[in-house]
Structure 1
Amino acid sequence: MIRSEEIYGLLPFDIEGVALLAELALDLSWSWNHSTDQLWEKLDPALWELTRNPWVILQSVSHEQLERQLADPLFRQLMNDLKRSHEKVGLADKWFQTTYPLSHLKSIVYFSMEYMLSEALPVYVGGLGNVAGDQLKSANDLGVPITAIGLLYQRGYFRQYIDEDGAQKEYFPYNDPGSLPVMPLRLPNGEWLRVKVALPGYPVWVRAWQALVGNLKLYLLDSNDPVNLPIHRGITGEIYGDGAEIRIKQEMILGIGGWKVLEALNLSPEVCHLNEGHSAFAVLERASAFMKSTGLSFEDALTITRCGNIFTTHTLTSAGFDKFSPSLMSRYFQSYVTCELKIGFDNFLALGRSEYGDKEEPFNMALLAMRGSGFVNAVSKRHCEMSRKLFCSEFKRWPINEIPIDYVTNGIHVPTWDSKIADTLWTQACGKNRWRKQMVQPVTDIKALTNQELWTFRNESRIELVKYVREKFVRGSKHFKNDQDLFADSQKLLNENHLTLGFARRFVPYKRTNLLLNNPLRLLQILNNRDFPVQLVIAGKASPYDKQSK
């Protein structure tokens, strides 16, 4: 395995401007800046279209092409403009600093099993990763002092292709760290930062990688270290590894190992945010660290530290929570509970159980996260109502509307998701920093646009979508059709002038994608209406192990 820093050392830094390109490529803030698309596209249009990975492009492009582009005044001006803009944004006071100038809040840590920051860093699956990635980007824009912790998977999530019969097939490309926009996290003495997490038999050494998201840092933990046993090197092999045993090891590395990394960096976050229950073991390690520094008991340490813990639940059903059998918990936590937490094992298991005394009840990570946090939130008003019902057995005789679960509605980081066409129109109407204002002003500004401007925008956007779907069809079908037939077939796909509705989400039964087929006759009438034709674009993945969804 080639490390990113070794690749870094092989870049032709004797060519003036390459150092700046490397700096831009390793900062994921390029992923929501349309101007940077032009920069990397000029270096290698085909590779940019396929990978959207500046770090790969910089490694792959020839020295001659680099020299040619860097000698182009327009290319160099674009590169220098991006650098100046990045520096200006980095130095400017942001929303958090101007709104709360006297705040004592200096450090927040954010734990998540996945982050969707860019296609160039494929360590995500679906909605949870989208939320985590967008919250991290928004925190950077707003100046919120967050450090993020996640896992660096060797395979990440699967890539999908559709075969000749229309069935989903999967492949799992290797996440070579040398091709990812990450660098080894090193201590001041140059040593790669490693922390030890105790597992049955032998400990696992976890090393940390650093990804830059503007001014924020994301630390990704990885067990694929030659110092580990082969069985341990594969713990971070695949996101949401199949089986409870691999899952509990991943979550121990994330929660316990993640907090140990913070300690190794001398970071002392006032707030710890758990994005779903996967990282709930962090509340144990935080309490354990507090015990060591104060001499308090685990019960007292947890009572104090839980005030600074936040748990965000995304799940709709109890089946969606990670649960581990008592025997599995005993194998992996008996020593930790005895030596680190210094409490009885039954008392420990009670933190993740509904009924004290039921020795067969599995350990529920969501319950541990809830009991270890001072604030719990769902992700919408309706989800809050459902979550209160879901957890009502934990709050016996409480009125359901008083169960202490609040909600913060999920949002998105708009600059990541808007198209170049949309960005141009919205910048014209509302200015470049429109999304950092209260929404009243952008809404007022957008209403000032003419109907013709909005209609032109919709038509141009639809044309771009249809073009993308056709190109995607051609690329995905080349292995069973020739190019000439493919191009002809692609031109029959969709109509640039029809009302187009898009649906994009994971295919799992509870998301009920098949509701579209609930009334087939009505659906056909809508799609075949000659006067007002409608077409659908549906995108999504089913888990490789979920035959029903596939």
Structure 2
Amino acid sequence: MQKMIYGNDIGHSLRFMMEQDPAFRTVAYFSMEIGLKSSIPTYSGGLGVLAGDILKSAADLGVPIVGVTLLYRKGYFRQSFEDCLQKALPVEWDPEKQLALLPHEVTVMIEGRIVKVRAWCLELQGRTGFTVPIYFLDTDVEGNSPADRELTWYLYGGDERYRLCQEIILGSGGLRMLRDLGYSNIDDYHLNEGHAAFLALELIREMGYENYDRVREKGIFTTHTPVSAGHDHFSWDLINRVMDGSMAARLRRMMPTEDVSMTEIALRYSRYINGVS
């Protein structure tokens, strides 16, 4: 039973109880990177800083939102110079000093293997004391293969396969984690860029594969750049090798295109779309 913690008045106490109930949260914000502070190096630049600012503002304003991203144990990179040339070094940090490890665990299928995903949590507190939980997904879990444990180590690291694996973890694994944590009343899923667009595929699977319009009603999409390098594309050959077979087949029916554009998935399955100028 939830223990009631009394504040200065009954209103404060009731709000605290509501905040602790996952059913209170109606918005989920998914972003490949979230920048909260320099000691949590899970961001590379503007995309992550904006995501962090949105969640900080939500905490200040009392918006019933929850954030989802990945835990990058080695961050983006740390810049150094040698003989006038830039060197990119991994960023080492200890999540245990910044975040709380949760007991919850979900799985995703990657290349025919079951990959375990766990979550770390940060309670972001606003000016009035209202809190926004942010979950950092992590595959560095005992029982996963050494390669699978590294899937959430690097932000924007590795090749196309590595990126595809991360985006399966973020979109599909992220929604599964929210469900396991008890978030059953989410009305709006906000995708900060297309990296989490497989969330739409997971929602369709969850709803029985036939509710495209219902998924679209729940989607909100923010895109940040018209530059092609900012929009992930994956070949069907890679999709079929990495993704679960039934999910790949469903994706093919959703996206009868030459390749898979994460931005196009997000555009097709969102009711509201905006851009960062």
TM-score, scaled to structure 1: 0.44
Q: What is the distance in 1 between the residues matched to 2:260 and 2:8?
A: 48
2:247 is equivalent to residue 331 of structure 1? no
- Read off the aligned partner of 1:281 and give its amino acid letter: F
Q: Distance in 1 between matches of 2:138 and 2:252?
A: 31
Corresponding residue for residue 191 of structure 2: 274
In 2, the alpha carbon distance for the partners of 1:221 and 1:370 equals 24
Q: Superposed, which structure 2 residues align to 1:123-134 within 5 Å?
A: 123-134=42-53
The CA deviation string for residues 197-227 of structure 1, in whole angstroms up to 9 with x for no partner, is 0112311000111011110100000000111
Instruction: Answer yes or no: is the 8 Å Cα contact 1:276–1:312 preserved in 2.
Output: yes
**What's the counterpart of residue 348 of structure 1?**
254
Query: What is the match of residue 122 of structure 1?
Result: 41
Other-structure match for 2:212: 302
Change (3 A) 1:193 1:304: same
Give the Cα separation in 2 of the matches to 1:135 and 1:255.
19
- Assess, with a 3 A threshold, how the Cα gap between structure 1 residues 138 and 241 changes in structure 2: closer, same or farther: same
**2:133 aligns to what?**
217
Superposed, which structure 2 residues align to 1:443-462 within 5 Å? none
**Which residue pairs with 1:194 in the alignment?**
105
Match of 1:288 in 2: 205
Give the match for residue 365 of structure 1.
262
Show CA shifts across 1:62-100 (max 9, x none). Answer: xxxxxxxxxxxxxxxxxxxxxxxx989x94999xxxxxx
Q: CA offsets per residue over residues 508-544 of structure 1, 9 Å max, x none? A: xxxxxxxxxxxxxxxxxxxxxxxxxxxxxxxxxxxxx
| Pairwise CA distance, 1:328 | 0.5
Q: 2:169 aligns with which of 232, 237, 253?
A: 253
Name the one with the larger strand percent: 2
The answer for the alignment partner of 2:100 in structure 1 is 183
Structure 1 runs (4+) greater than 4 angstroms displaced: none
Equivalent of 1:109, from 5, 28, 31? 28
Is 1:243 aligned to 2:159, yes or no? yes
Q: If each structure's helix is expressed as a fraction of its own residues, which one has the higher value?
A: 1
2:66 is the alignment partner of 1:168? no
**1: CA distance, partners of 2:215 / 2:49:** 28
Out of 255, 274, 277, the residue aligned to residue 377 of structure 1 is: 274
C-alpha displacement of 1:334: 5.2
Q: Is the 8 A contact 1:153 1:175 kept in 2?
A: no
Percent identity over paired residues: 40
Letter in structure 2 aligned against 1:256: S
Q: Which structure has the bigger radius of gyration?
A: 1
Name structure 1 gaps, 5 residues minimum. 1-85, 95-104, 186-191, 292-297, 354-360, 381-550
Q: Distance in 1 between matches of 2:78 and 2:91?
A: 7
1: CA distance between counterparts of 2:91 and 2:52? 21
Instruction: Report the counterpart of residue 146 of structure 2 in structure 1.
Output: 230
- Whole-angstrom CA distance in 2 between matches of 1:282 and 1:207: 17
Matched AA of 2:76: Y
2:110 and 2:244 in contact (8 A); partners too: no
* C-alpha distance 121-319 of structure 1, shift in aligned 2 (>3 A): closer
Classify the secondary structure of the residue corresponding to 1:193. strand
CA gap 1:87/1:379 in 2 versus in 1, 3 angstroms:
farther
Match of 2:62 among 131, 134, 143: 143
Deviation at 1:312, TM superposition (A): 0.3
CA distance in 1, matches of 2:176, 2:149: 19
1:318 counterpart residue number: 228
- Counterparts of 2:13 and 2:60, CA distance in 1: 10
Aligned residues: 257
Aligned mates of 1:223, 1:246 — CA distance in 2: 13
Q: Retained in 2: the 8 A contact 1:108–1:270?
A: yes
* 1:264 Cα offset (Å): 0.5
Counterpart in the other structure of 1:410:
none
Q: Does the 8 A contact of 1:160 with 1:168 survive in 2?
A: yes
- Contact 1:196–1:205 (CA under 8 A) maintained in structure 2: yes
Q: How many angstroms apart in 2 are the aligned matches of 1:151 and 1:290? A: 25
Q: Is the 8 A contact 1:123 1:239 kept in 2?
A: yes
Secondary structure of residue in 1 paired with 2:243: helix
Q: Aligned ranges for residues 16-31 of structure 1 at < 5 Å?
A: none
Q: Which has the higher contact order (CA 8 A, sep 6+)?
A: 2
Q: Following TM superposition, by how much is the alpha carbon of 1:170 offset from its aligned partner in structure 2, in angstroms? A: 2.5
Q: CA contact under 8 A between 1:122 and 1:156: conserved in structure 2?
A: yes
Q: Secondary structure at the match of 2:74?
A: coil
Aligned CA distance change for structure 1 residues 212 and 247 (closer, same or farther; 3 Å): same
C-alpha offsets along residues 134-185 of structure 1, whole Å, 9 cap, x if unaligned? 000000001111100000012011111234x443222213232233x10111
Matches within 5 A, 1:78-89: none
Residue aligned with 1:160, SS: strand
Cα separation, 1, equivalents of 2:137 and 2:252: 30
Q: What is the alpha-carbon distance in structure 2 between the residues aligned to residue 324 and residue 87 of structure 1?
A: 54
Q: Is the 8 A contact 1:337 1:348 kept in 2?
A: no
Deviation at residue 372 of structure 1 after TM alignment:
1.1
3-state SS of paired residue (1:116): coil
2:194–2:232 contact (8 Å) kept in structure 1: yes
1:233–1:334: structure 2 CA closer, same or farther, 3 Å change rule?
Answer: closer
